[in-house]
Structure 1
Amino acid sequence: MNRRRADFTSSLYLGMRHASTELPGWSALTTGRPAALGLPPVADGVAKALAELQGTEAVLLARSTLHAFADCLEVLAGEQTGIVLDVAAYPIARWAVRRAAGMGRPVLRIPHHDLGSLAAALDRLHARGLRPLVVADGVCGGCGKPFPLATTASRLPAKNGLLLLDDTQSLGLFGERPGPGHPFGDGGGGSLRLAGAKGPVVLVSSLAKAFGAPIAAISGPAVLTEKIRKHGGSAMHASPPSTVDIAAAAHALRLNRVEGNALRERLATRIRLFRRACGEQGLPLSGGLFPVQATPPVAAPRGKRLLDRLAAAGIDAFLRRDCRGGTALTLVITATHTTGEITETAAVLSAAWNREAERED
């Protein structure tokens, strides 16, 4: 019997999958009504539990982050608003900003995590009498580094500004008070919990990664989420999240309460093992203690040869552009990977990398 392929392409970081046997039954997938006319009853419990987890006043569920960001920018970026965009923000956020720009909103693009450029952009907009709306990722999926949330949030009240974060990569992974024994922190509540910050912040998060549920949430001050609920276009013109998606989210939040911290510690152990094994064989990886691990930048032909070598060994990985604009061979570590898969993949990848380096010398 052939052994299973080692899949390093899935972003189900904690391994949550929500089989049909784990969820309650359903009589219909959707209500047939737009979201503005109401969500399935179980949605209220999910929203309240998620708000408590993230440390926000309220949560509004959405079908996807595309719907959520479109609604947020439509409602929060009024005529007297200027947008400050981190250039490495996830494409879905950038698409929504592009739409806002098409509606006449000025957009200032700043380098990735550059606090000096951020301060200058806030000053420029404030001098023009515009309210700043900063758009960025809570944790960068490219370098694995958190956005300087606390510093940014502390600067916004003086400018009457607002921070809109894509917290997809952080939710379910990062939480309060990280330390040596629990490097991701406690609870998995995301960026606000990690930073221990308060302030004018709205989070858009997909639960499809760490929590494995294909549903999104808009989290923040109740006055703003209610405004988005009433005036966001997708709430009027699109169906709400499906009954199954909401049930999966409820199941994920229950699992997180019971075993989330243990899963995160298991994941951290596997990431460290992979990084150490590659490093010992001469291959430094970027990503820090984040599930997405990448080689140094490679040209496309070399990257394709590396992928072929991994595939021949039964290992699935992928090439992608990082937050600095380079292309790297990338593997996603999850809590479901065995230590054997981790060590074998590190050995194959490192050997292939070193052979390619010798070939180019």
Structure 2
Amino acid sequence: MLDFTSALYLGLAHDHASLRPWKALTAGKPAALHTLPGTPSLAAELAALMGCEAASLGPSTLHLFFDLFETWPAGRATIYADAELYETAWWGVGRAAARHVPVRRFRHYDADSLSSLIRRDACLGRRPVVVADGFCPGCGLAAPIAAFLECIRSCGGWLVIDDTQALGVLGRGPSARVPYGLGGGGTMQWLNVRSKQIIVISSLAKAFGAPLAVFGGTRSFVVDFERRSLTRVHCSPASAAAVHAAEQALLFNQHAGDRTRQFLSQLVARLRQKVARAVRLCGGYFPVQSTPGVSAVPAVTLQERLAAAEIATVLQRDRATGQPRVGMLLTAQHSIRDVDRLAAGILAAIQ
């Protein structure tokens, strides 16, 4: 079965033999009591990669979003969440809502919609906290971070970005020749945006293939976040294996990341070109491509026909319409031959 269901975009699997050895998988202590060797340097390296002053590590984005919104924002604040925000971030926002923090939804990546809501609420005297994904694979667009910042600049608000999709894929200085940019630092680097009002939460489990997450922001905010964190007291930290996998991923990124991303972008371009005469793929040039049902072939039928041809894809739900679509995740482990077979399978399935 030819598999297009994995989000390991750079093709990193981190088998045990390839990782730096560890004496114990875990210390049996929460992060508040024990700092795993290598964790501070890994956090610092990730902060530099993402363009943040400082960073903190967690077992997952769920842990980090829970911690962020369980006790923050304090005082008078309103959360403005993108209508198509990924579920993990929504679960965090739900913690704040349970503390009676008002939550508003604005149209997906629509700065005018956000600005209108903030102006409408201005008389309430609450600080705005905007929450959005850094990159949306569904529409193939990056968040308009500069426009979002403009909406909150004058009222001292915050912008919280879930950059899980972009970390390890997008980077600084994108161009027609290098569509993903360089370095893999994520959406802020890709858009060349810096601000002390931005908080970034990202998983390393996709492009970097390491099951842990990073929280980035100003040094003072990160220190305060760790001080307030409940999961650092009541939950286990990321394991030694996960930390060592992240170390290896960043080493790979330094030496071969840009070359790998360039190959990946070429695979995506080839797929889009091969099916362009018959199918409109969504996702831009990001390695998550998708197609709704084509003419008389519903998405469910399309996926079933691809499966019959020994091609595994993902049945997704379009967040805007609720309709199913067929998702295809490309990684650097795929070959040109794999992509050509996928394209041929799609064209045959819609006949």
TM-score scaled by length of structure 1? 0.93
Instruction: Output aligned runs, 1:308-323, within 5 Å.
Output: 308-323=304-319
Residue 51 (structure 1) aligned to one of 47, 50, 62: 47
Which range is displaced more, 117-126 or 238-247?
117-126
Partner of 1:258 in structure 2?
255
Q: How does 1:154-303 map to 2 (within 5 A)?
A: 154-199=150-195, 200-280=197-277, 282-297=278-293, 302-303=298-299
Q: Is the 8 A contact 1:42 1:246 kept in 2?
A: yes
Match of 1:306 in 2: 302
Supply the distance in 1 between the matched residues of 2:261 and 2:20 (Cα, whole angstroms). Answer: 26
Residue 253 of structure 1 deviates from its aligned partner by: 0.4
Partner Cα distance (1:210, 1:261) in 2:
12
**Aligned-partner residue type, residue 169 of structure 2:** L
The answer (yes or no) to whether the contact 2:67–2:229 under 8 Å persists in 1 is yes
- The CA distance in 2 between the partners of 1:121 and 1:38, in whole Å, is 43
Q: Counterpart of 1:145? A: 141
Counterpart among 3, 10, 19 of residue 6 in structure 2: 10
Mapped to 1, the partners of 2:169 and 2:139 lie a distance apart of: 15
**1:68 paired residue among 36, 58, 64:** 64
> What letter corresponds to residue 245 of structure 2 in structure 1?
A
- Tell me if the contact between 1:11 and 1:209 (Cα under 8 Å) persists in the aligned partners: yes
Q: Report the residue type matching 2:67 in the other structure.
A: D
Residue 95 in 1 paired to residue 86 in 2? Answer: no
Partner of 2:332: 335
Deviation at 1:24, TM superposition (A): 1.4
Task: State the shift of 1:157 in Å.
Answer: 2.5
TM-score, normalized by length of structure 2?
0.96
Letter in 1 for 2:251: R
State the 4+ residue runs in structure 1 displaced beyond 4 angstroms: none
Alignment: residue pair count: 349
Partner Cα distance (2:194, 2:311) in 1? 43
Is the 1:7–1:315 contact (alpha carbons within 8 Å) kept by the matching residues of 2? yes
- Give the distance between the partners of 2:121 and 2:15, measured in 1 at CA: 49
Distance 1:233 1:124 in 2: 34
Whole-Å separation in 2 of the counterparts to 1:298 and 1:204? 36
- Aligned counterpart in structure 2 of residue 132 of structure 1, from 118, 128, 135: 128
Q: Distance in 2 between matches of 1:243 and 1:352?
A: 45
Residue deviations 1:185-211, cap 9 Å, x none? 110001111121121100000000010
1:181: Cα distance to partner? 1.8
Determine which of 318, 323, 347 is the counterpart of 2:344.
Answer: 347
Q: CA deviation at 1:75?
A: 3.6
CA distance 1:88–1:197, change in 2 (3 Å): same
Separation of aligned partners in 2, 1:67 and 1:179 = 35
CA distance in 1, matches of 2:324, 2:123: 39
Given residue 347 of structure 1, which amino acid in structure 2 is its aligned partner?
A: A
Cα pair 1:75 1:227 within 8 Å, conserved:
no
Distance 2:10 2:286 in 1: 12
1:94-138 CA deviation, whole Å, 9 max, x = no partner? Answer: 111122111100001111011111111222343211111100000
RMSD of aligned alpha carbons: 1.6
Q: Match for 1:209: what amino acid?
A: K
Question: Which amino acid is 2:302 matched to?
Answer: L
In structure 2, distance between residues paired with 1:232 and 1:239: 12
After superposition, the Cα gap between the structure-2 partners of 1:307 and 1:23, relative to the gap in structure 1 and judged at 3 Å, is: same
The C-alpha deviation readout for 1:266-286, integer Å capped at 9, x for no partner, is 000000000111113x11111
Measured in 2, the distance between the counterparts of 1:275 and 1:293 equals 9
Aligned-partner residue type, residue 223 of structure 1:
S
Q: Provide the rounded CA distance (Å) in 2 between the counterparts of 1:336 and 1:54.
A: 25
- Which runs of 5 or more structure 1 residues have no equivalent in the other structure? 356-361
Please, which of 31, 48, 73 is the counterpart of residue 35 of structure 1?
Answer: 31
Deviation at 1:39, TM superposition (A): 2.1
Contact 1:175 1:190 in 2 (8 A): yes
Q: Residues 111 and 151 of structure 2 are in contact (CA less than 8 Å); yes or no, is this contact kept in structure 1?
A: no
- SS of the residue aligned with 2:135? coil
The CA distance in 2 between the partners of 1:19 and 1:207, in whole Å, is 16
Q: Offset at 1:298?
A: 6.8
